[in-house]
A and B are shown apart, each in its own frame.
Chain A
């Protein structure tokens, strides 16, 4: 386990930072923005503009 942590310390630090950032998503409203965009047909994405 110790070997795993030592050999992957960069990845684990990044992962921990990512977890904090994801956790802030709902509070900042960003998750809601993603949701609002994703549940509507994206006219730009499908080539309508």
Chain B
């Protein structure tokens, strides 16, 4: 076996180990942020002080186990309240998370991201790397952000406040982690379910089915939180850098990337969820990821700031 093949095999093994590590971190964080056991057992939700603070990922605050507030739900709650014209507190939390992590949150700390990753592992289904019109489909999440999270909730209805349009009509995390567990445990809520619940279940099922075939369809095309964090990827403290002297342009990073990103050309693309598999898979060890890697590698590479 050639030296090149040996290096590629070693790198593939390291990428596999990275996947396992990430899965463990995702599971631990999901359990931690939804650890209110009483809620799961009794079909209630947590009402403690930590619900003033947003968790970094998409995690419905009506999940029986949720210990924090959903950032997207909170943003809509503030914007739809006639007392506020802009949000400082929620946007501040999003900026803090984004400036530090960028979309590392999507790859490592989002419970709904974990659900999609687990579904993608289901064998026996031919996987696809992208859909027709992929480039345009990825812009859809920005439309969801602007329309369903910002503009429409800000429009005051007859009752005096706006509605959380994204939560109400689209969010699959709310259905999966809030709606279904509460419906199971609460007969009154089951009686009240109507066409809206059916619509949300349809949306959830479609996303979950797609997640078996293509990696992270919700994150790619629809997630407004991913859209927000994507703006921070080019300059967040957590970054990926490419050592141009070591990089051979072999493209193994892109082949490894489940989101089909040419990492060697765009290491901090707004589409990157920072799973880190490309870093481990690089046979030349030309990629580095971490907090402050920009500073560590400033003499030998230039961080690509393209989104």
The size bracket of the interface on A is 35 or more
CB of B74 within 8 A of CB of A34, answer yes
Q: Is the CB of B178 within 8 A of A20?
A: no
Residues of the B chain whose Cβ atoms lie less than 8 Å from the Cβ of A4? 292, 295
Asked whether B244 is an interface residue with its Cβ less than 8 Å from the other chain, the reply is: no
Distance in angstroms between the alpha carbons of A31 and B274 in the assembled complex: 30
Complex contacts, B98 vs chain A, CB 8 Å? 14
Q: Please report the C-alpha to C-alpha distance between residue A5 and residue B49 in the assembled complex, in whole angstroms.
A: 34
Which residues does chain A contribute within 8 Å of B26, judged by CB atoms? none
A17-40 interface mask toward B, CB cutoff 8 Å, 1 = contact, 0 = none?
A: 111111111101111111101111
Judge whether B95 and A15 touch: CB under 8 Å.
yes
Query: Quick check: B193 and A48 within 8 Å, CB to CB?
Result: yes
Whole-angstrom distance from the CB of A31 to the nearest CB of chain B?
5
- Secondary structure class of chain A's binding surface, majority of residues: helix
Minimum C-beta distance from B231 to chain A (A)? 10
Whether A8 contacts B295 by the Cβ 8 Å rule is: yes
CA distance in complex: A1, B290 (Å)? 16
Q: Which residues of B have CB within 8 Å of A11?
A: 99-100, 232, 235-237
A7, A22, A45: the one contacting B89 at CB < 8 Å is A22
Distance A35 CA – B69 CA, assembled complex (angstroms): 8
Chain B residue contacts of A46, Cβ below 8 A? 60, 62, 174-175, 178-179, 182-183, 189, 197
Which listed residue, B74, B87, B99, B292, touches A38 by the CB 8 Å rule?
Answer: B74
| CB within 8 Å of A: which B161-183 residues | 163-164, 167-168, 171, 174-175, 178-179, 182-183
In the complex the two chains form, is A30's CB within 8 Å of B179's CB?
no
Q: Are A37 and B61 in contact (CB under 8 A)?
A: yes
| Of B91, B174, B235, the contact of A45 (CB 8 Å cutoff) | B174
Which residues of A pack against B, CB within 8 Å? 3-4, 6-8, 10-12, 14-15, 17-26, 28-35, 37-49
